[in-house]
Amino acid sequence: MNDKNNGVSASTTSTQPLWLLAEITYRCPLQCAFCYNPTDYDKHTQNELDTDSWIKVLRQARELGALQLGISGGEPLLRPDIETIVEEANQLGYYSNLITSGAGMNEKRIDALKEGGLDHIQLSMHDITEEINNFITNTKTFKLKQKVAAMIKDRGYPMVLNVVIHRYNIDHIKEILEMAEGLGADYIELANTQYYGWSLVNRDQLMPKKEQVEHALKVTNEFRERVGNKMKVFFVVPDYFDDRPKKCMNGWGEVFMIVTANGDVLPCHSARVIPNLVFPNVNDLSLKGAWYDSPAFNRFRGDDWMKEPCRSCSEKENDLGGCRCQALLLTGDAESADPVCTKSPNRHVIDQAIKDSQNPGVEAKPIMFRTTENSKKIAEGDEKDRLAKFHATP
């Protein structure tokens, strides 16, 4: 596809960033154990881009061809300027999506967002039980979410629910789907936890058993058959239990562009874990320069960077070697095959992780919730033992 791309200098890529994800703040009142935000998010909460910078980002990305806009975080509603940003997005012709926990939503704001042209709201839900919801988010947010779901429906937005799946809710999938149906959801994403950021720190405590995943998929398929087109159900398969890796981000620098709270421009959420890669920042470089010409975006485009066994693999186009961040975090080499692949010489680290997650001694360690205090602890090296098996701080 990008066979002229030598991987380090100016790219001849013909790709366009169709999806722009604005991680507009890393501040969040929830403390979810599975959050994929970086564990050092705390350092990015002091230097957030201002409204004018975000408007500049939206304009530049739109010129590059971006169409889908996700406004995410942290909790984006902690910013008072979301309404202004949504209005600009609408005028530019984006299909805009507010990705929220519901915290900070109220009647006045949801009306203003509708008025400003917000196309849809993706609400995170956690379980049918108040107990699990409050446990995994470490906050009392169950009733809030039910209230916000009703508000979304009432204002005529498409209702899109996102449920991160882990061992504490995976056996409730049937009930979760029925709850979504009852709320009138149009779409639901059952996102099996992917292990980055906080979820990697808590991997042993979150990972379900293979049999649970298989059962969840069966239940999901039965539900799909029953409801048909009325509700779309996405089931994000957990890659650890698969024998081939996911085509992460649909390819590095192929369709996704992420701009973080402090203006870093990334090809994927967790790319900053890869050492010796300098990511462009919107304060220094245009998005056009970042997408087409930055060494970071060209680093893993196409397949010229691949090593064996990926390089000569007949299936390399299917997954492009999987996830670069997962390869780095679990093997220490961002150019190696994603260890999920059974052709990878490092597959044993995945099998060991699955075993560890079922070892009563390992899994009994307490969950580290996503808090500023824990972020500081990790940064200061207090959790060395827990993180020793990873090749970078997630």
Q: Choose which of 158, 289, 295, 309 interacts with other proteins (CB under 8 A).
A: 158
- Closest separation in Å from C-beta 255 to other proteins: 10
Query: Residue 277 in contact with residue 267, Cβ under 8 Å?
Result: no
Q: Choose which of 106, 221, 234, 243 interacts with other proteins (CB under 8 A).
A: 234
Of the pair 48, 87, the CB lying nearest other proteins is at 87
DSSP-derived letter for residue 291 is: I
Using CB under 8 A as the binding rule, whether residue 160 contacts other proteins is answered as yes
Of the pair 89, 350, the CB lying nearest other proteins is at 89
Give Cα 20 to chain centroid, integer Å. Answer: 13
Q: Choose which of 112, 187, 247, 347 interacts with other proteins (CB under 8 A).
A: 187
- Closest separation in Å from C-beta 73 to other proteins: 18
How crowded is residue 87: how many other Cβ atoms within 10 Å of its Cβ? 18
- Closest separation in Å from C-beta 74 to other proteins: 20
Of the pair 256, 305, the CB lying nearest other proteins is at 256
Of the pair 64, 183, the CB lying nearest other proteins is at 64
- Closest separation in Å from C-beta 198 to other proteins: 23
Strand partners of residue 126: none
Within residues 80-109, the interface with other proteins by CB under 8 A covers 93, 95, 97
Of the pair 62, 203, the CB lying nearest other proteins is at 62
Of the pair 24, 64, the CB lying nearest other proteins is at 64
Using CB under 8 A as the binding rule, whether residue 68 contacts other proteins is answered as yes
Could you list the beta-strand ranges (E) of 134-250.
159-165, 187-192, 232-236
Query: Residue 159 in contact with residue 182, Cβ under 8 Å?
Result: no
How crowded is residue 207: how many other Cβ atoms within 10 Å of its Cβ? 26
- Closest separation in Å from C-beta 184 to other proteins: 12
Of the pair 234, 373, the CB lying nearest other proteins is at 234
Strand partners of residue 257: 20
Of the pair 18, 362, the CB lying nearest other proteins is at 18
Q: Which of 317, 318, 314, 340 is nearest to 327 (CA)?
A: 340
> What is the token pair recorded at 388?
């020793």
- Closest separation in Å from C-beta 98 to other proteins: 11
Using CB under 8 A as the binding rule, whether residue 16 contacts other proteins is answered as yes
**Residue reference for tokens 């064996």:** 308
Size of the site for other proteins (CB under 8 A): 20
**Residue reference for tokens 């087409």:** 292
How crowded is residue 330: how many other Cβ atoms within 10 Å of its Cβ? 25
Q: What whole-number distance in Å separates Cα of residue 41 and Cα of residue 378?
A: 11
Using CB under 8 A as the binding rule, whether residue 392 contacts other proteins is answered as no
Of the pair 97, 375, the CB lying nearest other proteins is at 97
Using CB under 8 A as the binding rule, whether residue 120 contacts other proteins is answered as yes
Q: Going by DSSP bridges, is the β-strand pair 19-23/68-72 parallel, antiparallel, or unpaired?
A: parallel
Of the pair 33, 69, the CB lying nearest other proteins is at 69
Q: Choose which of 50, 65, 131, 150 interacts with other proteins (CB under 8 A).
A: 65
DSSP 85-150: HHHHHHHHT-EEEEEE-STT--HHHHHHHHHHT--EEEEEE--SSHHHHHHHHTS--HHHHHHHHH
- Considering only the stretches 57-65, 174-182, 191-199, 343-351, report the one whose residues sit in contact with other proteins under the rule CB under 8 A: 57-65
**Residue reference for tokens 């052709």:** 343
Using CB under 8 A as the binding rule, whether residue 129 contacts other proteins is answered as no
> What is the token pair recorded at 98?
């507010």
Q: What whole-number distance in Å separates Cα of residue 204 and Cα of residue 360?
A: 10
Using CB under 8 A as the binding rule, whether residue 247 contacts other proteins is answered as no
Query: Residue 67 in contact with residue 95, Cβ under 8 Å?
Result: yes
Q: Choose which of 229, 276, 312, 314 interacts with other proteins (CB under 8 A).
A: 229
| Residue ranges in contact with other proteins by CB under 8 A | 16, 18, 63-65, 67-68, 93, 95, 97, 119-120, 122, 158, 160, 186-187, 189, 229, 234
